[in-house]
Structures are given as C-alpha cells and as structure tokens.
Structure 1
Amino acid sequence: MNVPVVSALHVAPGRRLPTRSVESVEIVQARGIVGDRYEGAKHRQVSIQSLEAIREAEADFGAPIDPGSTRRNITISHGAVPTEPGALIRIGTAVLEVVRVAAPCKLLDDAIGPNAQHALRRRAGSICRVLESGVVSTGDEVHLPELVGDDRKIGPPRTR
C-alpha cells in the first residue's frame, strides 16, 4: 500500500492572519510548530488534514479548495486522518497525538466561500499535541495508525 506523504505545510503568525506555505517546519515537543499562532498552546499544537478529504469536500462545495485556506498546518497526500483521541501519527521523526477532531469554523465561509464550513464538516482533520520533536518537510512519509482498534500503534520512524 502507498504510504501517505506531506503534500503541504502552512503556518500563520497570528490569529486571523493569512497562512503561508512553507517547505519545512520545526515541530517542538509540547510546544507545536515554531512560528505558528498556536505555538505553546497546551493541546492545540498542530493540525493535520488529508488532501483526499479536501477533494471530497470540493465535490460538495462545487469549487476547488486550497489546502492553505482551511488553516490546517499539515496536509497529507491521502489516507484517513485518525480522529480518535490518543491515536499517534508519525511524520518524519516527529510524533503527534490526536487530541480531538478539527471542527471547521465559520471563518471558512468568509475565506473560501459560502457553505465551505458545511462541505468540510467531518473532513477537516484533527488537532494534535506534539509528543516527539522533529523537522517535517513536504514529501516526508506519514505513518498513520496501522491496526483498527489499536490507534496507538504507528509505523517506524523514517530514516533520512
């Protein structure tokens, strides 16, 4: 089976400020992404979504949705982003723990267009905290939970 990879990375320096696309980010244990608006937050340290889910939302929305416009930090190429609290995701050498589902907010209707929030419902990814630090770059492999019912098992770290 095809291993998902990081297809896009976005950071925003502050609340309501536009996100900017970057090639790599430094993710720090218990802090989040260096330079992002949520750096230092207790639980909301990194957000992750699937490009595959965005493409499904586009069908409902009726127009293209740029991954950066959703305000999520990490977009993976494909696969279902786990939403169960406690699920682990390894990206490069960083390990994230799912805290909760990322609920799309009303701001998306303003930024993307009317009904974007509705189209992204149940497709907006997850909010995570950082358990292990690492540098994450576009193209890095993403190891999602491998066993149904055992969301805490993840694949091996990627060697560079």
Structure 2
Amino acid sequence: MRPTVVAIHVAKGRRLPTRSVQSVEAEAGAGLVGDRYHGSRHRHVTIQSLPDLEAAAADLGRPVDPGLTRRNLTISGGDIPTRPGTRVRVGEVELEVVRVAAPCRLLDDELGPGAARALHARAGTVFRLLTSGTIRVGDEVTLDPA
C-alpha cells in the first residue's frame, strides 16, 4: 500500500503560522501557491512523514503537531528520499529532491525545548516542483517512480 498525503500546510510569510488546507495548487518551477516559498528558485515543497513525527513525539514525551514543524506535506509513511535528483510523485505532481530539510530553529519555540534535536534526521526533505497540478489530502505518494 502506497503512502498518502495526510496533511497540507502553507504559510503566507516566514514567521507567520502555517494553516491547514485540504488542497493546494503546485506550480512547476515556482512552488505552492499561497506559501512563503512560492517563487523561490529551488525550495518549493517540504515533505515529512508521520512515523518520523511519532518517533520525535516519543523522544519529546509529547505530541508533535505536523503544522508546527513548518513542513508543507505530511505523508502517512514510507522512506522519503534524500538523494538530490531523486524523483517522487504526489498525486499528479512530480517533484525532485533538492536536499535534506534541516530542523528549523523556530521548532523549540513552537513545539517546546528539545524539539529541534528530536526532529534531527526526521525533519523531511526539500523538493522542487517539476510539474504543475493540484495536491490534495488523500493523494497517493509514489516514492520510487522508477
């Protein structure tokens, strides 16, 4: 069974809170419409996995709300690729790995002390958008399209 998108979050500005949405328009070469990184050169979408958040929550001793991590997409499982150039598909949209996402310094403020450390190596991956389309909660994620 393929993983699915379980949450989508966007933020209009760098320090503004994220908001949960049921779908978002992905624009090839530009990013997610309505997100702070729309129009950036390479940082279009960030993806994290629910099992990684659950492991971080176990380390912290408290739940980790996917919206507070500031990542765009949360998927139900699977190993999110980290090697630059690797491609994945989310619903109808194709993405390419840019780099590993480092835990944001704001995490300790948002989630509490130790959050950045708990999310180290669990903070997801940064992707660029290769194709346009709509990404929806419930979309299947193909982590190995080859």
Task: Please say whether Structure 1 and Structure 2 have the same fold, judged by a TM-score greater than 0.5.
Answer: yes
The one-letter code matched in structure 2 to 1:60 is D
With the length of structure 2 as denominator, give the TM-score of the two structures.
0.98
The one-letter code matched in structure 2 to 1:113 is G
For 1:125 and 1:102, the matched residues in 2 are separated by: 5
Tell me by how many angstroms 1:59 deviates.
0.9
Q: After the TM superposition, which residues 72-91 of structure 1 pair with which residues of structure 2 at under 5 Å, given as runs? A: 72-91=71-90
> How many residues end up aligned between the 2 structures?
146
> Does 1:116 find its partner at 2:115?
yes
For 1:139 and 1:19, the matched residues in 2 are separated by: 19
Tell me by how many angstroms 1:105 deviates.
1.8
For 2:106 and 2:24, the matched residues in 1 are separated by: 25
2:102 match: 103
Tell me by how many angstroms 1:114 deviates.
0.1
For 1:130 and 1:112, the matched residues in 2 are separated by: 29
1:151 match: none
For 1:105 and 1:21, the matched residues in 2 are separated by: 19
Q: After the TM superposition, which residues 120-159 of structure 1 pair with which residues of structure 2 at under 5 Å, given as runs? A: 120-145=119-144, 154=145
For 1:131 and 1:54, the matched residues in 2 are separated by: 27
The one-letter code matched in structure 2 to 1:32 is G
> Does 1:47 find its partner at 2:46?
yes
Tell me by how many angstroms 1:126 deviates.
0.3
SS of the residue corresponding to residue 40 of structure 2 reads coil
* 1:117-137 deviation line (CA, Å, top 9, x unaligned): 000000011001000111010
Structure 2 gap segments, 5+ residues each: none
Tell me by how many angstroms 1:102 deviates.
0.3
Tell me by how many angstroms 1:52 deviates.
0.9
> Does 1:35 find its partner at 2:28?
no
1:5 match: 4
Q: Which has the higher contact order (CA 8 A, sep 6+)?
A: 2
For 2:104 and 2:136, the matched residues in 1 are separated by: 27
Detail structure 1 runs of 4+ shifted over 2 Å in the superposition.
Answer: none
Structure 1 gap segments, 5+ residues each: 146-153, 156-160
For 1:103 and 1:81, the matched residues in 2 are separated by: 14
Q: In percent, how many aligned pairs have the same letter?
A: 58
For 1:52 and 1:25, the matched residues in 2 are separated by: 23
For 1:72 and 1:37, the matched residues in 2 are separated by: 11
With the length of structure 1 as denominator, give the TM-score of the two structures.
0.90
Tell me by how many angstroms 1:45 deviates.
0.7
